[in-house]
Chains A and B, each alone.
Chain A
Amino acid sequence: MRSVVVLLAGDSGDGIQLLGGQIVRAAAQSGRDVRTLSDFPAEIRAPQGTVSGVSGFQFRIASDAIHDPGARADCLVAFNAAAYTKYASQLKPGGLLLVASEGFDARSLALAKLASDSDLLSAAREQFRVLEVPVKDLTLGALAEVSLGQRDKMRARNMLVLGILTWMYSMPAEVVETELLALFRGDETNILAYKAGLNFAETLEVQDYRVELEHQGVERGTYKTINGSHAVALGLAAAAHQLGRPMLYSSYPITPASDILHELAKLQPEHVTVFQAEDEIAAVTSALGASFAGGLGVTASSGPGLSLKAEGLGLAVMTELPLVLIDVQRGGPSTGLPTKTEQSDLTQALHGRHGEAPLPVLAARSAADAFDTTLLAVKIAVECMTPVIVLSDAYIAGSAQPWRIPDIGELPSITPPRGSAGEDPYARDAHGVRPWVTPGTPGGAHRIGGLEGEVGTGRISYEPANHQAMVTARAAKVDAAARLYGPLEVVQRCPEADTLVLAWGSTYGAVRSDVERRAAAGQNVDYIHLRHLHPLHPDLKATADRYRRVVVVEMNEGQLAHHLQGLWARRVESVCKTTGQPFTTEELAELWN
């Protein structure tokens, strides 16, 4: 077997995300490729045992490189009736349904709003292979000697299931154990439950369910598993190192962007100061203050927070100071779907400011790519003296994958523009970039602000021709940021393709799998995944002009498609959805032809 998709589902207090995380780490360390997809409620502790309180974690393990977490599951692990009810439709016919039997008693059925006499499992047996495991009894049995109350012991149920899955998917058991010892700081309780699960799987009649996955050959190096939030934090740490100046990470708590704040607060990288501001506006404006003072201001947000930062971005555009804003997109508008994913902030990122206020917009396509994209954003912000928006989303933020840690020598250089006194504040170099003369520089005193400045001197000017000149100069400077891009990457090239698929952001995995499947089926489609949403890659239009059809896939109502259609004055087909859930390859196969 090449890959297997497993969906873990239980109460949000059952430790589903932790269980998933451990399997992913074990799989990655055994040389398999892994992709994950989390699905959890927005409430911290939604009512126990109910469908609204179900937390899901999907992962796909493969012997070769993969790009998406898969569509329908080969195996569903359901901790209770509510979890089964919510996810049954995502299990393939004939797939394996592993259930914790205690989660299907009369009380659990009632909580899931099912009739107390309904026989869920009998019905399930008609569609799936069902493996009932008395998880509660096995856990309590394994922990009989441990002096803990039953409630505390029950918390180790996820570890018992971890043991079963470790055996079932032929993971290295000793690696998992080492991980658990480190995770629980040597506390044996969870290890006992884990080993009991392992033994249960090995000794009982579970043989039929074991799946052997081969190991792939991976590039040499040191690895860790990262999700998008951790990757952005590492990317910022790396950028601060490359810049060699103070970085202020200033943000206000909001889901799902907050995880970057937590990561940086925990990591404490050199040069990086972390500040939790009083609101979204203070977060962006304090970041801008740091940039004026000669550091680099970075802020992040999600959902409504992006709108609140629009005012600050306008000042950053006007003052031509570097600034990076990470937008971890979620379902909107308003509070919308705080824990679900969407790409619906694109139009706001591109256009959502008062006045003519263009700025570079980049998008990360995966957790690993978020590291590189963050570094590029800082490079552009500093080297072009402009605010930059990086679009991530809830899916990238929470999805994990193995990642080879780069050597510091591999990181891109980040070179601030000239900064000594003697030049006018808005004098421009060949790329239209102004100097960055920071307070403390002898003889460099100058004033900047939100009022339009005179060409060169930056002194207040309301002259009509001057305003036009400055508007044009700011836009040209942003367009010139494309000099920092690499060559246009074509992900898939088929012979004589007349269709070009364009996508951006977190749809990468699903779209790539989809176009590969199409190519294998004889449909010749080429595929370019956009990292640079503004300015577009200079070669993109000429490349797109060669195709009869251009199809844009995105998780919104067609925002990039409409943008390109206007920009290129040609027909662009839009394949989109706005459900708060990422595309699956299966779904894409159905959506267009």
Chain B
Amino acid sequence: MELTAKDFQSAEEVRWCPGCGDYSILKQFTEVLASTGSDPDRTVVVSGIGCSSRLPYYVDSYGIHSLHGRAPAVATGIKLANPDLDVWIITGDGDALSIGGNHLIHALRRNLNVPILLFNNEIYGLTKGQFSPTSKEGQVTKSTPRGSVDHPLNPLTLALGAGATWVARSMDRNPAHLRDQLAKSQAHQGSALLEIYQNCNVFHDGAFEVWTDKSTQALHSVFLEAGKPIAWGGIEPTHALAWNGGRPEIRELGSEFSLADAWVHDPSDRLKAFALAALEGPLRPFGVLYAAERPVFAASHQAGTRPLHDVLHSGRTWTVE
């Protein structure tokens, strides 16, 4: 019997603030679990602490709501004990990039075979509004009344630097795109970091509006597709990126620069993926920036095979008759 999204929804009352972007992410997540034929008995959703990390409670599968920042370490242990389980990590910008930064980079470099869904809302929500490691310079929050002086972390360049084999970005307000990226993250063999722009309508409303709102999205968001020119602006694209010897340049499409001259997206090119990830201005890329193959972690960590008798009698022994 085929399962539906409803079969993946637990009986727990969902308790995010009304209007929170997390509702959409939860909905797309359960739909993808259903559409990909996931087995709830073999699915394990692991989270840390924060608003995003409440998600496992709402999914009818196995789940563990662990410690702040430690979800990648917990997931590593789960995969080592049973590599056949379908494990997901749910985390946020504070959880993954601040208190859990160390675990995140090591999970990525080891190529732990799990999708990591990083809900980025550029704020600490559950603790009621302090600046996070992705908050912008000058962002006014409860702990930075005169504006944040910290330079923000870029989750995508960090992931690429740490050796992630799959890096992508999506958003809460584009359900079709989000479902597509979730399915791809699940299909990837290795650690898949999916940054999801998620609106916190209580403490940092509209942080990503320019990229997610239909009225402005076409001008500022570029949706990447492998083998296609990197172009945006509407159904008929108006702009495209030029590689320009490693100095990406935004070009207006016309007689001087046509789609044929544009940079063609190649997700296997790590250097170009860095260039895309580093776009921190008004233009932001969405979709799979980078995808590569590398042996997955648990496969290299097999349990020993030496029988107990041989282990106990290892080394030099002697016998007393």
Interface string of A278-316 (1 = CB under 8 A from B): 110110011111111111010000000000000110010
B29-60 residues with Cβ-Cβ distance < 8 A to A are 40-44, 46, 49, 56-57, 59-60
Is residue A221 within 8 Å, beta carbon to beta carbon, of the partner chain?
yes
Which of under 10, 10 to 19, 20 to 34, or 35 or more describes the interface residues of A?
Answer: 35 or more
The answer on a CB contact under 8 Å between B303 and A223 is: no
Partner of A31, one of B74, B78, B302, B320: B320
Partner of A450, one of B42, B63, B66: B66
Nearest Cβ distance between residue B110 and chain A, in whole angstroms? 9
Residues of A within 8 A of B70 (CB): 281-282, 285, 312
Interface string of A240-276 (1 = CB under 8 A from B): 0100001110100000000000000001111111110
Is residue B85 within 8 Å, beta carbon to beta carbon, of the partner chain?
yes
If A275-B76, A460-B57 touch, does A292 touch B306 (CB 8 Å cutoff)?
no
Is residue B274 within 8 Å, beta carbon to beta carbon, of the partner chain?
no
The answer on a CB contact under 8 Å between A292 and B304 is: no
Nearest Cβ distance between residue A436 and chain B, in whole angstroms? 13
The answer on a CB contact under 8 Å between B56 and A447 is: yes
Interface of A is mostly: mixed
Bound state CA distance, A279 and B74, in angstroms? 13
Bound state CA distance, A581 and B56, in angstroms? 50
Is residue B235 within 8 Å, beta carbon to beta carbon, of the partner chain?
no
Interface of B is mostly: mixed
If A289-B77, A290-B77 touch, does A270 touch B306 (CB 8 Å cutoff)?
yes
Residues of B within 8 A of A28 (CB): 318
The answer on a CB contact under 8 Å between A234 and B77 is: no
Q: State the interface size on chain B (CB cutoff 8 A).
A: 57
Which residue of chain B has the shortest Cβ distance to A178 in the bound complex? B316
Which residue of chain A has the shortest Cβ distance to B56 in the bound complex? A447
Residues of A within 8 A of B56 (CB): 447, 449
If A275-B301, A439-B41 touch, does A269 touch B67 (CB 8 Å cutoff)?
no
If A267-B314, A272-B303 touch, does A293 touch B78 (CB 8 Å cutoff)?
yes
Residues of A within 8 A of B79 (CB): 289, 293
The answer on a CB contact under 8 Å between B74 and A285 is: yes
Is residue B1 within 8 Å, beta carbon to beta carbon, of the partner chain?
no
The answer on a CB contact under 8 Å between A224 and B315 is: yes
Bound state CA distance, A562 and B80, in angstroms? 42
The answer on a CB contact under 8 Å between B77 and A288 is: yes
Is residue B244 within 8 Å, beta carbon to beta carbon, of the partner chain?
no
Is residue B61 within 8 Å, beta carbon to beta carbon, of the partner chain?
yes
Is residue B106 within 8 Å, beta carbon to beta carbon, of the partner chain?
yes
Bound state CA distance, A279 and B99, in angstroms? 13
Residues of A within 8 A of B314 (CB): 267
Residues of A within 8 A of B62 (CB): 439, 444-447
Bound state CA distance, A390 and B131, in angstroms? 41
Is residue A422 within 8 Å, beta carbon to beta carbon, of the partner chain?
no
Of listed A279, A438, A445, residue having the most chain B CB within 10 A: A445
Is residue A218 within 8 Å, beta carbon to beta carbon, of the partner chain?
yes
Is residue A441 within 8 Å, beta carbon to beta carbon, of the partner chain?
yes
Is residue B260 within 8 Å, beta carbon to beta carbon, of the partner chain?
no
Bound state CA distance, A145 and B313, in angstroms? 38
Bound state CA distance, A279 and B75, in angstroms? 15
The answer on a CB contact under 8 Å between A289 and B74 is: yes
Bound state CA distance, A271 and B308, in angstroms? 10
Of listed A271, A289, A290, A445, residue having the most chain B CB within 10 A: A289
Nearest Cβ distance between residue A88 and chain B, in whole angstroms? 34
Bound state CA distance, A289 and B317, in angstroms? 37
The answer on a CB contact under 8 Å between A294 and B74 is: no
Is residue A451 within 8 Å, beta carbon to beta carbon, of the partner chain?
yes
The answer on a CB contact under 8 Å between B67 and A295 is: no
Partner of B76, one of A31, A282, A451: A282
Interface string of A434-470 (1 = CB under 8 A from B): 0000111111111111110000000110000000000
Residues of B within 8 A of A275 (CB): 76-77, 80, 301
The answer on a CB contact under 8 Å between B106 and A282 is: yes
Nearest Cβ distance between residue A296 and chain B, in whole angstroms? 8
Nearest Cβ distance between residue B164 and chain A, in whole angstroms? 15
If A279-B102, A282-B103, A290-B77 touch, does A267 touch B311 (CB 8 Å cutoff)?
yes
The answer on a CB contact under 8 Å between A268 and B306 is: yes
Partner of A271, one of B46, B82, B304: B304
Nearest Cβ distance between residue A31 and chain B, in whole angstroms? 7
Which residue of chain B has the shortest Cβ distance to A246 in the bound complex? B81
Nearest Cβ distance between residue A478 and chain B, in whole angstroms? 21
Bound state CA distance, A246 and B85, in angstroms? 14
Nearest Cβ distance between residue B258 and chain A, in whole angstroms? 48
Residues of A within 8 A of B103 (CB): 278, 281-282
Residues of A within 8 A of B304 (CB): 267-274
Interface string of A217-242 (1 = CB under 8 A from B): 01111111000000000100110010
Partner of A444, one of B41, B64, B308: B41
The answer on a CB contact under 8 Å between B65 and A290 is: no
Is residue B200 within 8 Å, beta carbon to beta carbon, of the partner chain?
no
Bound state CA distance, A237 and B311, in angstroms? 8
The answer on a CB contact under 8 Å between A315 and B66 is: yes
Residues of B within 8 A of A356 (CB): none
Partner of A445, one of B61, B301, B313: B61
Residues of B within 8 A of A55 (CB): none
The answer on a CB contact under 8 Å between B320 and A223 is: yes
Bound state CA distance, A441 and B63, in angstroms? 13
The answer on a CB contact under 8 Å between B316 and A179 is: yes
Nearest Cβ distance between residue A289 and chain B, in whole angstroms? 3
Nearest Cβ distance between residue A89 and chain B, in whole angstroms? 35
Residues of B within 8 A of A439 (CB): 41-44, 62, 78, 82, 85
Residues of B within 8 A of A451 (CB): 65
Closest CB pairs A-B (n = 7): A289-B77, A449-B65, A268-B304, A295-B81, A286-B77, A282-B73, A290-B81
Q: With contacts A221-B320, A223-B318, A275-B301 known, what are 5 further pairs, Cβ within 8 A?
A: A246-B81, A270-B307, A275-B77, A292-B77, A460-B57
List 26 A-B pairs, Cβ < 8 Å. A28-B318, A223-B318, A224-B317, A246-B80, A247-B303, A248-B77, A268-B304, A270-B303, A272-B304, A277-B73, A282-B102, A285-B70, A289-B74, A293-B44, A293-B77, A294-B81, A439-B41, A439-B43, A440-B41, A444-B41, A445-B60, A445-B61, A445-B62, A446-B62, A447-B10, A449-B66
B interface, CB within 8 angstroms of A: 10, 12, 40-44, 46, 49, 56-57, 59-67, 70, 72-82, 84-85, 102-103, 106, 301-309, 311-321
